[in-house]
Amino acid sequence: MPPLQDDMGNALNLARPPRRVVSLVPSLTEALASSRPDVLVGATRWCTHPSDLDVVRVRGTKNPDRDAIVGLRPDLVIANKEENRELDVARLRAAGVPVWVTVIETVPQALDSLERMFTEALETSIPDWLDAARALWSDPLPHAVATAAVPIWRDPWMVVGKSTFTGDLLRRASLANAFAAHPSRYPRVALEEIDRLDVDVVLLPDEPYAFSGHDGPEAFRRAPTRLVNGRLITWYGPSLLPSHDMLRELVSAM
């Protein structure tokens, strides 16, 4: 039997299916809490779903409390290449903690990575919500009917660029990303550059920057804006189900 490998090809030697798991990724925390809450013992303070999640908090995704994580005696830590630092992963491994690192830049990658996490890392069955998400998001790439820009921060303004999960999710919902051809994944751009583009909508999510009715839309003079639930366009996991409905409704209303 080939050795267990995470999404980056790192080998893991697990003596048994994990019984104590720490998640450093909000999306994956929600996925675990919805399907294997019995094994989840720790998560970051950014892991906000489900709202009643009752586990030890180990600071943030970029500054996890490694001593606290080791103290929880996890059989496995779940991390992500984009959201977590390589240094933290390396130091946890040096402390003897197995770490499963996911790589997710597209919707198909998310679906496959989640399936492997459950079936290979946790040695459990595929959750019903994951089968449902695969059914919703596995259609051929549709024709883009509108173009959207997606700021994720202001002062400085940053947007979703190339090779991102969010960009791929929107494209599969018939929304082309206005900055998909930018050489950076999350480029800094001037507000004027966003506003002068011929876009159908600027989507303003409530995370990672908390855009709101009085913080974001007022900055744009030309481009129409729409406030959206950030979890539904940036998270992968159970959120893939409501995100499909939300984006379908958004596109239908344009």
Rounded CA separation 11/136 (Å): 32
Instruction: Going residue by residue through the chain, which has 254 residues, state the pLDDT in tens, using 9 for 90 and above.
Output: 568 999 999 999 898 899 999 999 999 999 999 999 999 999 999 999 999 999 999 999 999 999 999 999 999 999 999 999 999 999 999 999 999 999 999 999 999 999 999 999 999 999 999 999 999 999 999 999 999 999 999 999 999 999 999 999 999 999 999 999 999 999 999 999 999 888 999 999 999 999 999 999 999 999 999 999 999 999 999 999 999 999 999 998 87
* Contacts of residue 247, Cβ cutoff 8 Å, sequence gap at least 6: 169, 170, 173, 175, 232, 233
Rounded CA separation 237/231 (Å): 10
Q: Which residue has the tokens 């770490």?
A: 99
Question: 146-252 architecture in CATH?
Answer: 3-Layer(aba) Sandwich (3.40)
3-class SS of residue 200: coil
* Contacts of residue 123, Cβ cutoff 8 Å, sequence gap at least 6: 17
The domain covering 4-135 belongs, at the CATH homologous superfamily level, to: Nitrogenase molybdenum iron protein domain (3.40.50.1980)
Please tell me what DSSP assigns to residue 218: G
DSSP for 128-191, please give it: HHHHHHHHHH-SPPPPP-EEEE-EEETTTTEE--SS-HHHHHHHHTTEEETTTTSSSSS-B--H
Q: Which residue has the tokens 């050795």?
A: 3
Backbone angles phi and psi of 225, in degrees to 5: -120, 160
Same fold, 4-135 and 146-252: yes
Domain extents in the chain: 4-135, 146-252
